[in-house]
Amino acid sequence: MQAQTENSHILRLERDWGVAEKLCLGVSKLFLKPPLSRLSLRNRALGRRFETNENYISDRISNIEDYRKLFSGYCSFEGKVVAELGCSTGYLLASFLEYEHFDPIGIDIDPAALDQGRKLHGGTIRFIQSTRTSIPLPDESADVFYCIDTVEHLKRPREIMMECYRVLRPGGIFLIHFHPWLGPYGAHLEDIIPFPWPHVVFSMDTLLNVAADLYELEGYRPACYWLDPNSGERRPNPYLDHARWVEFLNRMTIAEFKRLLRSLPFTVVHFSRMGFGGKAFRLARFMRGLAQVPLLDEFFLRAVLCVLKKPAAA
């Protein structure tokens, strides 16, 4: 780990910094110090979510009532076979089970997350490892699929959504909640790049180069998932591997998602753009209406909610 850290410092010293990198680094450092540090996305994160894994999961499941309200208008989980696409360790499924009784299936591509999920919830949740394009479940074996903050990470979104269609029973519902690419947090770097919409102004290569430098600043504490759970030491710099971030994000916009929907055999029951709620930044709620304005909607929204249905005659 130390050798990689030293090598990464050498790499950054040897390359010529462009204007974009210098500007991005300068703006980032301004947000790391008072008075702008009060507005830092990481500092404003609810529940200090990036400080510990417990805080991170606690913040995620704190939204379960919001998800239940959003989903309940279109289907109930009670007594059904319900599959979560992109379940990680199953913490959302486990939270839904506190309110309704159903047969849960957690689906994820990450074997380490699934192993941890089985240790935590193996007695109540069945975990299935998917691939980019397949889900090893029988045809017409689930009543409901849902995914929360997952669509933007699907490498082959059409193929895996067609798999959800295959696994759903006729009349089955697919509930989708995700944050499109051009929203303020679309780059998924808010734990280290402290200002919103950085990916709209700078390229991802620029952002990752700057993140790699910030990661190794003296005194900087990385987000909890970049710390070794046993030693507490920071993991090797995760921002040096740009190819990993290409895999991690598909840069799905609202327009691209709508094109994807037109290529699928689902019936679209509902599609809405959700404006800012003002939980982290109170003034943001005054921009809520911009989520309904064409073109501006790509930038000024919290999430998209889409409800799909497999036709009963499928």
Q: Which residues does 252 contact at the CB level (< 8 Å), separation at least 6?
A: 151, 152, 154, 157, 178, 180, 181, 260
Residue 184 has pLDDT above 50, yes or no: yes
**Average pLDDT score over the chain:** 92
pLDDT tens, position by position, 165-177: 999 999 999 999 9
pTM: 0.92
Least confident of 54-58, 81-85, 191-195, 280-284: 280-284
**pLDDT in the model for residue 42:** 84
**pLDDT in the model for residue 219:** 84
**pLDDT in the model for residue 134:** 98
CA–CA gap between residue 25 and residue 20 (Å, rounded): 8
Omega before 35 cis (within 30°)?
yes
pLDDT tens, position by position, 51-68: 999 999 999 999 999 999
CATH 3.40.50.150 residue ranges in the chain? 73-182+251-309
Which tokens go with 145?
């699929």
% the chain with pLDDT above 90: 79
CA–CA gap between residue 128 and residue 161 (Å, rounded): 16
282 within 8 A of 183, measured Cβ to Cβ = no
Edge-to-edge, what's the strand order for the sheet holding 126-129?
A: 126-129, 103-108, 81-85, 142-148, 168-178, 303-309, 267-274
**pLDDT in the model for residue 139:** 98
Query: What count of other Cβ atoms lies within 10 Å of the Cβ of residue 303?
Result: 22
**pLDDT in the model for residue 210:** 96
**Closest by alpha carbon to 87, among 99, 71, 70, 104?**
104
Q: Which residues does 186 contact at the CB level (< 8 Å), separation at least 6?
A: 152, 179, 180, 197, 199, 249, 251
**Closest by alpha carbon to 161, among 142, 147, 140?**
147
pLDDT tens, position by position, 12-63: 444 568 999 999 999 999 998 888 888 888 887 777 889 999 999 999 999 9
**pLDDT in the model for residue 239:** 97
pLDDT tens, position by position, 210-250: 999 999 988 888 999 999 888 888 999 999 999 999 999 99
- Report angle CA 303, 237, 19 to the nearest 5 degrees: 75
pLDDT tens, position by position, 81-90: 999 999 999 9
Residue 2 has pLDDT above 70, yes or no: no
235 within 8 A of 132, measured Cβ to Cβ = no
Residue 205 has pLDDT above 70, yes or no: yes
**pLDDT in the model for residue 10:** 38
Q: What are phi and psi of 117, to 5 degrees?
A: -60, -40
pLDDT tens, position by position, 91-104: 999 999 999 999 99
**pLDDT in the model for residue 188:** 96
74 within 8 A of 308, measured Cβ to Cβ = no
Superfamily of structural domain 73-182+251-309:
Vaccinia Virus protein VP39 (3.40.50.150)
Does residue 210 sit in helix, strand or coil?
A: helix
On the CB side of 257, CA atoms within 13 Å amount to 28
Residue 192 has pLDDT above 50, yes or no: yes
**pLDDT in the model for residue 1:** 41
Residue 277 has pLDDT above 90, yes or no: no
Which tokens go with 99?
């309110």
